[in-house]
Amino acid sequence: MNSKQLNFFASLGLISTAAIWGFAFVVVKDSLDFVPPVYMTAIRFAIAGVVLAVILNRRLFVINKNYILHGIFTGFLLGMGYITQTIGCNFTTAGKNAFLTTVYVILIPLISWPLNKKRPGFVVFASAIMALAGIGFLALRHETGGGFSMNFGDIMTLICGVFYALHIIFTARLGKDKNMLVFTVLQFLTASALAWLCAPFFDGALPLRDLAQSKVIVSMLYLGLFSSLVAFSLQNICLKYMESSLASLFLSLESVFGVLFSAVFLKERMSAIMIAGCVLIFAAITIAEQFKPKEK
């Protein structure tokens, strides 16, 4: 298979990943009536971690102290990202949750600045301002008194974008010398353990009766097997055959899929100004990825 074919299948794989994650916003929103947000995070990553560990089997023997320490650290970031995102989805629409999440694409070069001691270019700052304007259109609701307010769900979703950015940055830095699927198992299990520890404080008792419903079982299996295990595995494999700058652009399509699926399956409606906000955020992401310096 030549490089052009590999690039095509890598692009298709990343678009598929974005579509899986986009539909996950619908599944999460639809399931929050039955499963509290932190328990949902705990269950999905427990499923993903255990199943992937069984698949990898003896390859897990490479795990050492370095793997464990780095896996716990990046898994904590991953878990916090999903916990805050899922809580956010409980207080805002799935479509807004999808678009606000993707600000991590803009945040990555800004957060990397002090870490790498490399100042981002002008385009990154311009994109960040454009994204901020888009967030304003999308997340700020005009009240009858003439002021603006941001709801709790919007704020939690923006916080989740920070954790996602940190997770991507440190996974790239710490995972260079590791088997990425083994590293992913440790992240899944850490994220699940974190959520199980936090869930009783945020969500109360585990609703076992609701978990027994067939609809909930199917939703948790989708989030665990497809949105977590399959999507992350696809992402890691495809990144081997494509520049991360272009890959991030494909992955940011999850916001578009999230809005589309939310409109189709949840009947969510967006105002003209909210659509303008979506366009601004997506344009900012596209410009930031297309015009940043090529990786060597």
Listed residue (79, 165, 142, 89) closest to 273, CA to CA: 142
3-state secondary structure of 242: coil
Cβ-contact 130, 286 below 8 angstroms = no
Provide Rg for the chain, Cα atoms: 19
Residue 142 burial (CB count, 10 A)? 11
Cβ-contact 216, 34 below 8 angstroms = yes
Taking only the tens place, the pLDDT of each residue in 7-38 is 788 888 888 998 999 899 899 988 998 999 99
The whole-angstrom separation of Cα 283 and Cα 242 is: 21
Listed residue (71, 243, 47) closest to 167, CA to CA: 71
Average pLDDT score over residue span 170-180: 83
Average pLDDT score over residue span 49-74: 94
Listed residue (125, 105, 255, 239) closest to 172, CA to CA: 239
Cβ-contact 108, 165 below 8 angstroms = yes
Segment among 48-62, 121-135, 233-247 with least mean pLDDT: 233-247
With b for 16 or more beta-carbon neighbours within 10 A and e for fewer, the 240-265 pattern comes to: ebbeeebbbbbbbbbbbbbbbbbeee
- CA of residue 167 relative to chain centroid, distance: 10
Listed residue (80, 16, 82, 93) closest to 254, CA to CA: 16
The confidence score (pLDDT) of residue 125 equals 74
Taking only the tens place, the pLDDT of each residue in 98-138 is 778 877 777 877 787 787 777 767 776 777 778 777 766 76
The dihedral sign for the CA sequence 277, 278, 279, 281: positive
Average pLDDT score over residue span 148-166: 85
